[in-house]
Structure 1
Amino acid sequence: MNRSKKDRILDAAEQLFSERGFDGVSMRNVADTAEVGLGLVTYHFTTKDVLFEDVVTRRAEVLNSERRKLLSELDNPSLEELLEAFFEPYRRFIASGSKGWRAYARLHAILTQDSRWTDLAARSFGAVALEMVERIMMAEPAISRGEAVRGYVHVIGIMVSVFAETGLIDRFSDGAISSRDVATSISPMVRFGAAGIRALAISETAASAPLVTLNS
């Protein structure tokens, strides 16, 4: 399939941003990698910020759509079922062998580590995030909204670090576990995430319980 020049620019930018971060990439770098003129890059994307946002939102829309589809099929799910539905579309896209989705996963990790991209992350993933928080509260009634938000943010941190394929788990496991094997990463993430969210609910309940004193 022939890719449009605009798509080639987005693909090139995605790969470069995932490898070098936002500050390490110039519009000229993108033009050279996409094998197009710099003028064409700036015609489609007036600034590097605009280009970065379009790179992020392009796949975010696809990911959000698949997540909403799986979430809509759940009826009174457990935390484990909820998290599996949330992780699975991302895993499937990465496991498809697409170089672009693997680059996007690394870029997504960068996005979550820098506060200057908080607004962009909120615009790109906020609607599904709010739905997840509501569903976490339904699955774990003892948890407050604040702790549900905290649990969701912790889950995101786990997800992006795993899907970014940093190789850390390969090194610490002496190669017994591969960070590229995203298929086997889902179950541990689900178990860890669900247990953590439940622990937040339990600790919050314990903290709010009245102290019991013994009369002398």
Structure 2
Amino acid sequence: MQRLARYTTQCIDFQNHPSLLPVSFQEPPEPTVVPSVKWLLTVYSQDILTRLDDTKARITSTYGSILKLDSTRKITKKLAGTAKGTAMWLTSVGNELGQVLVSVLTAQEGAGLDLMADGLVKRYQQAGVDPPAVLYIDCGCCTDAGPDETKLKARFSRWPDILVRLDIWHFMRRIALGCTTDAHQLYPIFMSRLSACIFEWDAADVALLRRAKQNMLIS
């Protein structure tokens, strides 16, 4: 469109200039047909299918010794089309490097996690990888399902030595819940002070960070 507008503008300038002979211009070329959205989505889907085995291999080859299980409703609210309203919770398991091991969509929180847990345990066993040492969760760490185990630990019963603990962020949220809400203007300050009481910067890591930043600025 920009080239066509430039061409017609130049033609008008030539036409406005005085000339002994009538000025004629060549018609601009026909615009290129742009593929439709449906065609682009089809090509993109076919490209994904060609890499499906490689994608599955990469996802199922991710492990970790420290896992974190968390559920959220923010992702399911973004579902559109025929998938809208089919799921209420997204539960994901990540490792200490921030990599996602598995994610499942469920109609309610907690439902369907037994199959996810069995599949995760089986993945570790088939790969010959040592079971994780700790599993951090967002809730249910203290709900008794028996005399010595929680509901979530019962799901991972084939990992008898795994420790199930409450995630530190949700621990902080529980403390803040008794003081104020996240809509309060002092809530961020309170959480910042609470974080400073729990976490401590490693002096060696801070020194390395400063040195790397200085080298980057010098170069």
Q: Point out which structure has higher relative CO (alpha carbons under 8 A, 6+ apart).
A: 1
Q: TM-score, normalised by structure 1?
A: 0.23
The structure richer in strand per residue is 2
Higher gyration radius (CA): 2
Q: TM-score, normalised by structure 2?
A: 0.23
